[in-house]
Amino acid sequence: MAQEKIALKQADRVEITTVLDNTVDLLLPSSEVVKRYRSGAAMGKRWLIAEHGFSAVVKVACNGGGESLLFDTGLSRDGMMHNFEVLGIKPREIQAIVLSHGHIDHTNGLLAVTSRLGRRKIPLVMHPEAMLARKVVLPDGRETSLPPPDKRALRSQGVELVEERGASTLLGGLVLITGQIPRTTEFEHGFPIHWAKVSGKWRPDPLINDDQAAVVNVRDKGLVILTGCGHAGLVNTIRCACELTGVERVHAVIGGFHLSGPLFEPLIEPTINALREFAPDIIVPAHCTGWRATHAIAHEFPEAFVQNSVGTRFVI
């Protein structure tokens, strides 16, 4: 079934700053588009930290103005705020927060940032299922708990919880949040060992329906698509962004592509084959993409591939 089109305004420019990711490398080179963090020579300067999580600030500019949103908040309560301070990012300049999905490595910094907003009623946009308790059950029976964000604590800080299954826009119609992403490929089937607690009972939850992406349509360039983990599948996500906006040109895909480990490495080849059809100008694998997939993408798309690092700012 075709999705209803979203009238996404064109942005003059978008800047995406990686606040948290799995790695930090201070020796990577900059370019006209990719601005790397430089620590400078000052003694005693605080350093950026990396962790198994993801967070980015998205700033869009149009007609001389600019606004920012926070996309995910990392794994630790203090990691994101530490890097905010090092990078000079001010929480009060953020107009909205978006959760790509409800997993703890994307949500655990929430209360740290909302506590510094001065009780401003900032919207927190998420799919309703992002608030489910989850777990991963390994073949040997071991379990990894994935607790949800604390709704009560967020409301006590004046946060406006916006639970939305469908697509929506933020920042004056310049940023599309895809909402629940249709699964249309033959190979992206989700996370088979993933479970969710629904109505007090644990149930298989392979699709992780709350997975969503942020999309900006940059004038004369095309779509810039930002994913958290990409549990819906990178190709499903790109297809969804194109279908919703009616824009076929994909300029950049940035974020976690979830192609790591034995369950997902068989998806690397078909994902790369599909990426050839979209031919993005910029491909930035991050977080949960995995080293095999990252190396494969770098090999197949040497001109488009960019290695991510905490503190990197993409100016598009």
Those residues with Cβ within 8 angstroms of residue 171's Cβ, 6 or more apart along the chain or in another chain? 60, 67, 68, 69, 95, 96
Selection from 211, 248, 250, 246 nearest residue 2 by Cα:
246
pTM to 2 decimals?
0.96
Selection from 167, 186, 140, 296 nearest residue 244 by Cα:
167
Residue 229, phi then psi, degrees to nearest 5: -115, -20
26, amino acid identity: L
| Neighbour count for residue 7 (Cβ, 10 Å) | 9
CATH superfamily of 10-36+50-315: Ribonuclease Z/Hydroxyacylglutathione hydrolase-like (3.60.15.10)
- The Cα 136–Cα 281 span in angstroms is 35
pLDDT of residue 119: 62
* Cβ–Cβ under 8 Å, residues 58 and 214: yes
Selection from 163, 166, 176, 185 nearest residue 218 by Cα:
176
pLDDT of residue 43: 44
Structure tokens at 188: 């992206």
How many CA atoms lie less than 13 Å away from 180 in the CB half-sphere? Answer: 14
Q: Could you give the residue ranges of the DSSP H alpha helices within 79-178?
A: 79-87, 104-107, 110-114, 151-156
Selection from 253, 217, 218 nearest residue 237 by Cα:
253
pLDDT of residue 32: 96
pLDDT of residue 56: 98
Kindly give the confidence (pLDDT) of every residue in the chain, 316 residues in length, as a single tens digit, with 9 standing for 90 and above.
Answer: 557 788 899 999 999 999 999 999 999 999 999 999 987 544 456 789 999 999 999 999 998 889 999 999 999 989 999 999 999 999 989 999 999 999 999 999 999 999 887 667 899 999 999 999 999 999 899 999 999 999 999 998 889 999 999 999 999 999 999 999 999 999 999 999 999 999 999 999 999 999 999 999 999 999 999 999 999 999 999 999 999 999 999 999 999 999 999 999 999 999 999 999 999 999 999 999 999 999 999 999 999 999 999 999 999 9
pLDDT of residue 41: 45
